[in-house]
Amino acid sequence: MGFPEYGHFVLMLMQMLQQDMRKFFAIYVIFLFGFSHLLYISSDQQNSGYFSFLDAMRVGFQAVLQQVDLNMENEKQLGPWSVNLVLVIVLCNFFLVSLVLVNLLIAMMSSTYEDINQGAKRQWNLVRARIITNIDKEMSEKERKNKQHMYWEWEDVHKDGERFMTFTTSENLESYLAERSQELEE
């Protein structure tokens, strides 16, 4: 978060992981369970012993990765309608998840990118102020009065005794001290 050029990228990644990916995985798990259940039932498992529900979930997940191995060893026991139905289900799963849901995820991430990019500087300054405030809370009174820490904060005391901070936009100690000395001369 410390660099203004990269701070908003960190915020984007955090927001994408916290919101967009969470929504995508919730929807994906629903689709995976639905297609796995449909695949398990359509394989006529009771009569053929084709595969278990976990195997059906594995096939559904592998369909998304385009690595489907249906293991049709018991094809003669299943019957032609079951084999074709299984293939249709796997293809529908591949189409819906790989094309539709992944494109939905890309659209959500693009929207998040645009939202954060518009207010990136403001958001970065807000996060920077929170970090500085947290650092200040951890500092002792002696550390707060140290001149080395003054380039990123300027502390004042309200007449009620309540402390408050004003954050500078200076990026280093030298530029802060130069700005500060000009203010004091005026």
* Pick from 128, 121, 109, 101: nearest CA to 34: 101
* 3-state SS track over the chain: CCCHHHHHHHHHHHHHHHHHHHHHHHHHHHHHHHHHHHHHHHCCHHHHCCCCHHHHHHHHHHHHCCCCCCCHHHHHHHCHHHHHHHHHHHHHHHHHHHHHHHHHHHHHHHHHHHHHHHCHHHHHHHHHHHHHHHHHHHCCHHHHHCHHHCCCCEEEECCCCCEEEECCCCCCHHHHHHHHHHHHHC
Cβ proximity of 105 and 75 under 8 Å: no
Q: pLDDT tens track of the chain, all 186 residues?
A: 456 677 777 878 888 888 888 998 898 888 888 887 877 777 655 555 546 777 777 777 776 676 666 555 555 555 666 667 767 777 777 788 878 888 988 999 898 888 877 777 777 777 777 877 777 778 777 776 776 665 455 555 666 666 555 655 555 556 666 766 776 776
The predicted structure's pLDDT at residue 107: 92
Cα gap 64→93, rounded to integer Å: 7
Domain boundaries defined on the chain: 4-119, 139-185
Q: pTM of the entire structure?
A: 0.54
